[in-house]
Amino acid sequence: MRATAQLITAKLVTAALVTAALVTAQLAHAAEPLPELTGLLVDQAGALSEAEQAALAARLRAIQASGRAQVAILVSGGTGGEPLADYAFKVAEKWQLGRAGKDDGLLILVVPSANAARIEVGYGLEGAIPDARASQWLDDLLPSIRNRELSAGLERLLDQVEAALPAAAAKSDTGETNYLFPDHPEWRVPFLLVVFSPFALFPLFFGRWGCVASGPLFAIFAGGAAWALWDSQTAAMIAAGIALPFPFLWALNWTDDRDLASWLRPAKAVGNAAAVVLFFSIITLFLGAGLSAMEPGVVWVAPVFAGLLAIGLAAVLFPGAPAHYLMIVLRSAMHFVFILAVAWMSLAPFLSQPVGVAFAVAGAVTACAALGLYLDSRGQTRWSRWCFGLALLVALPFGLLALVLAALGDDLQMQLAQAAAGGGSIAGALSFAAKHGLFAAAKIGLGGRFGGGGAGRG
């Protein structure tokens, strides 16, 4: 009886030891790390010479550069007891082969010690490389593995893979690289936070106390942009601290300067100046980023357009004499841009490089109009009319020529542009002339018959 109990105990201990050994071995296998992707060719088994590795790696890089797929080769010393299919799948998932959204990765796993190989195909290549075709390629590869001619076998396999891969998509201006910040994707989140930060200022439009909500919101936008850009909590705190006071300064615009304490008036001016700079920066960033993705050659339009809008904002925030002269600058800039477009469209069919002449025409018209606006503000009506008349005499022929070209042309898009430019310039000229009394002045000579002096009696 006692002997039987000892026998049973011995068997239980033996079974426990065997089970523990199996579990330990299994855990050891499971814990064995997967290889790292140090290159498109990883030779853990040392089955390839340096020259063979270099040649195969060059081919793999060429396939990747072609944009057709990303192919990698792992020559493994063993799978750690795992089934070949499971091990290949785990390696392919860890290496993340293939482009995001296309899943065009392919892993070639070779285990020379086991005379085994597997091809793991990404979802994006399943149509080009079905299982039957991959199996046929492996049948051709296995003799090379057994005969220790692995390099030659892999070269033939890559020939077969390249022949089966889909052709690379043709590159175009609207291709996949034509998006926002293609070389710096880390800029996109900060860009969005900065561009949309003005939405945090909406509470300001409902009264001076809106700054209580706008201040923290604006600080969150600025701090979040800094954090996303530099990955630094310190940078985020600094940016948020700088942004926080501005909505409170902008809220001072709800109060007339005469009702503000003397020390708040400079603070209001500083806040308004910062608002103009911030407005210019955000518009330039927003428009410039879009143009750089679509038409990099015309990015210069962004600061020009933003500058015009910023001048208008400055005229609103700084009333009085500064606003008056700012509006003259703004109107002159708008005249310049408009006449530049009209002159260019009129001269393009006749000159190979019409930009220089168009700039000269726009500059002359703008200078005359700006001088007229200045003289008119100084009460020199007679001389201002001469300046306005000269500006119209220079601009009108180009507007008429644009209309004629629109009527005679055969390119619909250019016809529409020329018609809009010509019609707009003529309509603008007539409106401008009526506003400044040039029709009446023309009847008796620019400047009028009177205005030199006089006297009156009650």
Asked if residue 7 is part of any domain, the answer here is no
Segment 103-126 mean pLDDT? 88
From 136, 164, 192, the end of a domain falls on 164
Query: Does residue 114 have a pLDDT over 80?
Result: yes
Asked if residue 71 is part of any domain, the answer here is yes
Query: Does residue 157 have a pLDDT over 50?
Result: yes
Range of the domain at 95: 41-164
Asked if residue 110 is part of any domain, the answer here is yes
Q: Tell me, what's the pLDDT at 17?
A: 44
Q: What is the pLDDT of residues 180-208, one digit of tens each?
A: 666 667 777 788 788 788 888 888 778 87
Asked if residue 343 is part of any domain, the answer here is yes
Q: Tell me, what's the pLDDT at 211?
A: 84
Asked if residue 29 is part of any domain, the answer here is no
What does the alpha-carbon distance between residue 324 and residue 320 come to, in Å, rounded to a whole number?
Answer: 6
What does the alpha-carbon distance between residue 373 and residue 440 come to, in Å, rounded to a whole number?
Answer: 19
Asked if residue 354 is part of any domain, the answer here is yes
Query: Does residue 76 have a pLDDT over 60?
Result: yes
State the CATH number of the domain containing residue 150: 3.10.310.50
What confidence category does residue 175 fall into, taking pLDDT thresholds of 50, 70 and 90? Answer: very low
From 140, 164, 188, the end of a domain falls on 164
Q: Which ranges in 197-320 belong to alpha helices (H)?
A: 211-230, 233-243, 245-250, 264-294, 301-317
What does the alpha-carbon distance between residue 120 and residue 8 come to, in Å, rounded to a whole number?
Answer: 50
Asked if residue 224 is part of any domain, the answer here is no
Question: Chain-wide mean pLDDT for the chain?
Answer: 76
Tell me which of 373 and 453 has the higher pLDDT: 373
Q: Which ranges in 295-411 belong to alpha helices (H)?
A: 301-317, 321-347, 355-377, 381-408
From 108, 129, 164, the end of a domain falls on 164
Asked if residue 361 is part of any domain, the answer here is yes
* Residue 191 CB partners (closer than 8 Å, separation 6+): 180, 181, 285, 289
Question: How many structural domains are present in the chain?
Answer: 2
Tell me which of 316 and 443 has the higher pLDDT: 316
